[in-house]
Structure 1
Amino acid sequence: MSNDKKVLPPDEVNSPTRRRFLTKSALLATGGMMSLAMSQAGHAAPVTINVPETLSGGRTRFHQIYDVIIVGSGFAGLAAALEAKSHGLSVLVIDKMPVFGGNSTINGGAFAVAGSPLQKEAGIEDSPELMFKDMLKAGRGLNHQDILHVLVNGTLEAYEFTLKHGVRYKPFVQHFGGHTVPRTLQTVESSGAGIIMPMRESAQKLGVIFKTRCKFESFIQDNKQTVIGIQVKEDYRFPDEASGTSRNYAARHGVIMCSGGFGNDLRFRMLQDPQLNTDVDTTNHEGATAEAMLAMLKIGATPVQLDLIQLGPWSSPDEKGFGYVSQFNTIAGYPQGIIVDVRTGKRFTNELADRKAREDAILAQRDAEGKPVYPVCFTNLEGAKQAQSLPGALKYNVAWQFDTLKELADHFAIPYENLQKEVDVYNAAVKKGSGDPMGKDVSRAISIEQGPYVAVRVWPKVHYTMGGVQINVNAQVIDSISGQPINGLYAAGEVTGGPHGASRLGSCAVADGLVLGRIAGAHIATRPADPLFNTSASDNA
């Protein structure tokens, strides 16, 4: 995207007479005139704005004023912040947790890019159109195709954007399940922190203001229901809801919600899918909860596909959270090995199928009483040579190494003869370059005829929420009654719903956050500043 500010028509005024989700507490409406006093230290004294017509009545006191406020500091939040800042706006990014990044920091740092230079160097033919087809297939056709088109067509530019801000990638392309061709790039750190840290550092150098332990509470709207700020709790100590001091922040151009999904919100996710109870672990950080999304619903946002919750098919029952095994399986076990039922020694799924297909196949591995029978995924050391997490997995006994296939079979009580036959059939397909009985693309796979072998146990965990609020192609949040944008409110990343449909393809969350986050940051800059906040005073810190 260009750094030149584009002039577009103002948003259409959205003023339905009533919203079914409105609550009095969500409408701290404001209007009228204001005066701004700045201290020598650059902090603003509270600003009082008279309110002639509101549902709540009275006046609102703003403690700080910015051009743009972004809730959430993951991929989408940082992309939005950098883009808005590049258009000359003052930007505040808040996060309720004591550290920045949320799930983005702890994910695998894998980014699907259609038409990357590394693909071209490797002779891999790819395009946004092919990526679109792959995501639509994985999503079972439930994808919102307008947003999906924007996403796939923005990946290459988003990749170049990350390079500009100091992100470094491994010098090879990976083949994740459900993708027709290898198109996944991964940070050298094998972690989303490899994107979050340099982007945040870049944003800070450019003057973006960051606040941790700052919890979003509700929206502040004027008498036309335009979002002009937020109420927060400063010095909030998750999960102590009694902690923190209430403050009001104003946003001249609007608010961008990048607050993430609700994979660790047990109550809310069980409302959507009662099977996702305490017996099901999650890869999400503890702050991945639903309250920010629910606040958008309260002021009229449209909910989209909230019951579509993805389980990661590569995680391990032997460790909590994302752990070491997830990265091992995505980069080694699944593309360069096989997964088998320990009772029979036989494969039961395509290791490179999309996530939902693998998730469903693994969850079906249960005994007569319905208890899980954990499958085993394995490859040899040659297939695992690029798995940076393997040493940690071996150290903490969530992966095991064996000299021979017989030792592996004995350790997991797998019928050896059956397992050997399964390996032989797989190797024959690999040698031929096609014809795998499970339909796996083995054209780039290696033979696992020779050890040493490394193996892990597998069981899915709640990983990603495909549902959220509806946005348009400008990342504006859509009102559920009028079908028009809620003025002053944008969203990007996992808090939104639609682009992924029933199942998100691996490495597409980074693409989603970066592409739509940038769009939100650029489009919000085209909105005229609310006239309530016309002032020549400088912004506060």
Structure 2
Amino acid sequence: MSKETMSRRDALRIGALGTVGVAMLTASNAMAAAPTEKDVKFDEEYDVIVIGTGFAGLAAAAKAAERGYKVLILEKMGRVGGNSVINGGGMAVPNSSWQKKYGIEDSGEMFIKDCLKAGLGINHVELLETIVKRSQDALDFSIKCGAKWQDVKPAWFGGHSAPRSLVTDNMSGSGVIKPMHEFVEKLPGCKIMTRTKMDDFVMSADGTSVVGVTARINYRFDPKLLSDDVENKTGEKKVYKAKKGVVLASGGFSMDKVFRKIQDPRLVEDMDATNHDGATAGALLKAFQIGALPVHIDWIQQGPWASPDERGFGVAPLLTQQGLFKFGVAVDVRNGKRFMNEMADRKTRADAEYVILREAPKMYPVAIGTYNTFEEQIYPIIEKGLAAGGVMKKFDTLDALAANYKIPADALKATVKKYNEDVKNGVEDEFKKQTLKGESLKELKGGDPIDMKGPFYAIRLVPKPHHTMGGLKINTKAQVISANTNKPIPGLFAAGEVTGGTHGASRLGSCAIADCLVCGLVAGENI
């Protein structure tokens, strides 16, 4: 068995066993796979090396370069951005200048309370506090880089107790990544290399600190391999020195078919996910091997707004989260009844959908609404959803909709009638949906949430692996914590989805951009 394969096996054991697994492997054994500076000859030298070109990586690179450092950014894929490019473009900014502009009351305390509720109370609160303190800074920095945000009332995402999420003009994370990429490329001393895979860390002679990385240039990612990180041998080896340190911003592992199944056996190899193909665990596992402390590795969030009628992320999450879920309903096709709070946190909704799918596989629940259900900024996406291979369908009557999905028509009409009447009479609905009261209802201008004149819109729902909650333990300076010493590993920082603890068991929607940008900036400021 090769050293490379054995290293991955050890790392898989670490990830599966958590902190106990780290303790079981001695420091010398955990670090054996990583070369030291005595074992290599550096091809190039930089102040800072950043692994990954998503929100976190580009933010860290930009801030480090602005401080005058020479920065190398490595990206294993052929394009920059990772999952950030296909992100839905929503950024939660609690107590923001935007909220003040539109008269929305919010606070950092409310935000943290919402996150703790979704995260089942296992969040590392000091990291949430960092997001609260710095999210406006991160928003301002994105604007400085050229990102454009919709100048409308902040959107209300599931699980939040107030509308606090800004959305990019193009309703995609690319609205941040593209201008930030261009900004970074223009900074003196910044170099971005695509198709360059980080293979390992280079440790100091005494094995205690990170001083560089080994990598392969001209690497060709192969999505057909079950474990691209181990089986792919393409590319030419290079060794890069980092005088100040390395920032790991390699993202999550929702597309790592081997590692994700070890953490959650329900996530079988052929299960679709919302992530890009390169969202694998290779860099994370290398950090484990040098003693980095894992946290919450087996908490893998599934997006409850995805559709079985399209691959990956697609358009359904925009049309459901900022459309059908806000004022519409989700129903069980077997009985035509609601079964969840459509605006709850992601885990609550995904779990509710799974109850149905476990009892009746392929009987996908359906989200239903009318034109007034959608937030105004989503209107341009409606036709796209209708044209995208039937991801969203349009019906003139509820009877036609019911017939298409084999829903009992009378039961469905009774569900919608009660739903509308409860709103009209100011009755709190059985699921305590937070958008059906107060200021939010003013958007309906006195009308019913679901307009019985039609037409009606519908999307089938299925949970898909979306965000890996666990990763490396970092402190509020974005330093990676050692499982051997419980202190920072000198020279190693991390930001974004490769880290864990911030969001606990489940992240609230639109918190990823805030988390990644904030911690990326913090890493760039502190390295």
TM-score using structure 2 length: 0.88
Q: Which amino acid aligns with 1:163?
A: I
2-side partners of 1:373 and 1:20: how far apart? Answer: 51
Alignment of 1:379 with 2:360, yes or no, is no
SS at match of 2:287: helix
Is residue 119 of structure 2 the alignment partner of residue 139 of structure 1?
A: yes
1:143·1:500 contact (CA, 8 Å) conserved in 2?
Answer: yes
Residue-by-residue CA offset, 1:256-300 (whole Å, 9 max, x unaligned): 000000000010001111011135310011100001000000000
Match for residue 194 of structure 1 among 175, 180, 200 = 175
Residue of structure 2 equivalent to 1:216? 198
Aligned partner of 2:155 among 174, 179, 183? 174
Contact 2:31 2:291 (C-alpha < 8 Å) held by counterparts: no
1:394 lines up with 2:386 in the alignment: yes
Alignment of 1:227-306 (within 5 A): 227-239=210-222, 241-306=232-297
- Structure 2 Cα separation of the partners of residues 84 and 493 of structure 1: 16
Q: CA deviation at 1:449?
A: 2.7
Q: Which runs of 5+ in 2 are unaligned?
A: 1-24, 223-227
Q: CA deviation at 1:214?
A: 0.3
User: What residue in structure 1 maps to residue 92 of structure 2?
Assistant: 112
| Deviates most, 90-99 or 407-416 | 407-416
Contact 2:258/2:269 (<8 A) preserved: no
Between 429-438 and 505-514, the greater mean CA deviation after superposition: 429-438
Q: Is the 1:325–1:389 Cα contact (8 Å) retained in structure 2? A: no
From 485, 494, 501, the counterpart of 2:488: 485
* Superposition deviation, residue 21 in structure 1: 5.1
* Residue of structure 2 equivalent to 1:43: none
| Distance across 2 between alignment mates of 1:143 and 1:297 | 21
Q: 436-445 vs 201-210, which deviates more? A: 436-445
Q: 1:456 aligns with which of 454, 459, 467?
A: 459
CA contact (8 A) 1:20 1:300 kept: no
Stretches of structure 1 that go unaligned for 5 or more consecutive residues are: 1-16, 31-50, 52-58, 525-541
Pairwise CA distance, 1:206: 1.2
1:371 shift after superposition: 1.7
Q: Percent of counterpart pairs with the same letter?
A: 45
Aligned counterpart for 1:86 among listed residues 60, 66, 91: 66
Q: Secondary structure at the match of 1:360?
A: helix
Q: Tell me which residue corresponds to 2:420.
A: 427
Aligned-partner Cα distance in 2 for 1:475–1:219:
18
Q: 1:192 to 1:21 in 2, by over 3 A?
A: farther
Residues 202-225 of structure 1 show CA distances to partners (whole Å, capped at 9, x for unaligned) of 111113211100000001111232
Q: Give 2:416's aligned amino acid.
A: V
CA offset at residue 367 of structure 1?
6.7
SS in 2 for 1:510: helix
The size of the alignment, in residue pairs, is 479
Q: In 2, distance between residues paired with 1:186 and 1:331? A: 10
Aligned pair partner of 1:25 in 18, 25, 33: 33
Instruction: Name which of structure 1's ranges 159-168 and 68-77 shifts more when overlaid on structure 2.
Output: 159-168
* 2:522 matched residue in structure 1: 519
What is the distance in 1 between the residues matched to 2:460 and 2:499? 33
Of 476, 489, 506, which residue of structure 2 is paired with 1:503? 506
Separation (CA, whole Å) in 2 of partners of 1:118 and 1:329: 23
1:24 & 1:115 partners in 2: Cα distance? Answer: 47
Say which one has the larger Rg. Answer: 1
The 8 Å contact of residues 65 and 71 in structure 2, kept in 1 or not, is answered as yes
- Contact between 1:332 and 1:386, CA under 8 Å: does it hold in 2? no
Name the CA distance, whole Å, in 2 between partners of 1:498 and 1:367.
29
Q: Which amino acid aligns with 2:86?
A: I
SS of corresponding position for 1:382: helix
Q: Which residue of 1 aligns with 2:334?
A: 343
Deviations 1:140-174 (A, max 9, x none): 00101111211222111111111111111112211
Write the deviation string for residues 336-370 of structure 1: whole angstroms up to 9, x where unpaired. 211001111110000011111100000111375x5
Check whether the contact 2:114–2:160 (CA below 8 A) recurs between aligned residues: yes
- Which residue identity lines up with residue 450 of structure 2 in the other structure? I
Offset at 1:116? 2.0
Equivalent residue number for residue 5 of structure 2: none
Q: 2:15 matched to which residue of 1?
A: none
Secondary structure of 1:320 counterpart: coil
Aligned in 2, Cα 1:367/1:125: closer, same or farther, shift over 3 Å?
closer
3-state SS of paired residue (2:100): helix
Q: Once the two structures are superposed, what CA deviation does each residue of 1:180-227 show, in whole Å capped at 9, x if it has no partner?
A: 001111101111000100011111111321110000000111123211
Q: SS in structure 2 opposite 1:322?
A: coil
Q: Which residue matches 1:333?
A: 324
The 2-side partners of 1:372 and 1:148 are apart by: 37
Give the equivalent residue in structure 2 for 1:37. Answer: none
TM-score, length-normalised on structure 1? 0.86
What is the CA–CA distance in structure 2 between the aligned matches of 1:471 and 1:21, rounded to whole Å? 22
Matches for 1:5-24 after TM superposition, within 5 Å: 19=27, 22-24=30-32
Q: Counterpart of 1:187 in structure 2: which amino acid?
A: T
Q: Encode CA deviations 1:502-523: one digit per residue, 9 max, x unaligned.
A: 1100001111101111100000
Q: Does 1:185 find its partner at 2:166?
A: yes
User: What is the deviation of 1:489?
Assistant: 0.3
State how far apart, in whole Å, the 2-side matches of 1:170 and 1:375 are. Answer: 31
Instruction: Name the SS of the counterpart of 1:219 in structure 2.
Output: strand
Structure 2 partner of 1:409? 402
Task: State the one-letter code of the partner of 2:191.
Answer: I
Q: Report how far residue 20 of structure 1 moved.
A: 5.6
1:449 partner amino acid: D
Tell me, what secondary structure is at the counterpart of 2:373? Answer: coil
Shift of 1:432: 3.9
Please identify runs of 4+ aligned residues in structure 1 that moved more than 4 A: none
How far is the alpha carbon of 1:310 from its aligned partner? Answer: 0.3
- Secondary structure at the aligned position of 1:297 is classed as helix
Residue pair 2:340, 2:349 contacting (<8 A) in 1 also: yes
How big is the alpha-carbon RMSD for the aligned residues of Structure 1 and Structure 2? Answer: 1.5
